[in-house]
Amino acid sequence: MATLDFAQLWSPLRLTLELATLTTLLLLVVGTPIAWWLARSKARWKEAVAAIVAMPIVLPPTVLGFYLLLLLGPQGPGGALAGLWGARTLAFTFEGLVLGSLIYSMPFVVQPIRNAFEAIGDRPLEVAATLRASPWDTFWSVAVPLARPGFMTAAVLGFAHTVGEFGVVLMIGGNIPGKTKVLSVAIYDFVETQRWQEAHILAGGMVVFSFVVILAMLVIERRTARVGT
């Protein structure tokens, strides 16, 4: 049996954690205003926007990855963007992976936050308005604290989905160690090369990770239900 190369295990793990953390933080920033708008707007076409945001749930990851590849490649807007710092393309880069993950994991962040905002209802916001709070003030002092369980669910789901991403990464990231070779791709690789021990360690870790995520979700949900009473 070959000796374990811990660098080969640690590199994809670290990259995955970096990608998932960055993606989750960015999604909270980008997704919150979208979720607020979807929850509060009376625009008739808002469900169309909601559908676009939710599409990655049903689209095969390879389809999403294919279009992203065109988008990020030298001929797409991603290539033009990369040109700003002298690169030729965003495909097969960490930045490209972050962009892809943002789109791929977006619905898992927007939906829980939207639900949480909707669950607040009009009343607390009206109360705040009659107590001299401007809409901006009300958002931060009432809406966000009341939607906190939604934000926690969103963060957990967004992070977990980014960690589990495979198809999209394969299409737009490839398999470059230290740059785009994330956990799921590494497991695939280890299996392909019959390095069962490494595959076992990473896959087993993912099982434990998934369990912790689901458990966290259930605990958050229970707490939300308690707040509601």
Residues contributing to the site for other proteins (CB under 8 A): 123-124, 126-135, 137-138, 141-142, 145-146, 148, 227, 229
By the 8 A CB rule, do 36 and 46 touch? no
**Closest separation between CB of residue 40 and other proteins, Å?**
15
**Closest separation between CB of residue 41 and other proteins, Å?**
17
Rounded-to-integer distance, Cα 81 and Cα 4, Å: 40
**Closest separation between CB of residue 123 and other proteins, Å?**
5
By the 8 A CB rule, do 173 and 90 touch? no
**Closest separation between CB of residue 128 and other proteins, Å?**
7
- In the bound state with other proteins, the residue whose beta carbon lies nearer, of 5 and 137, is 137
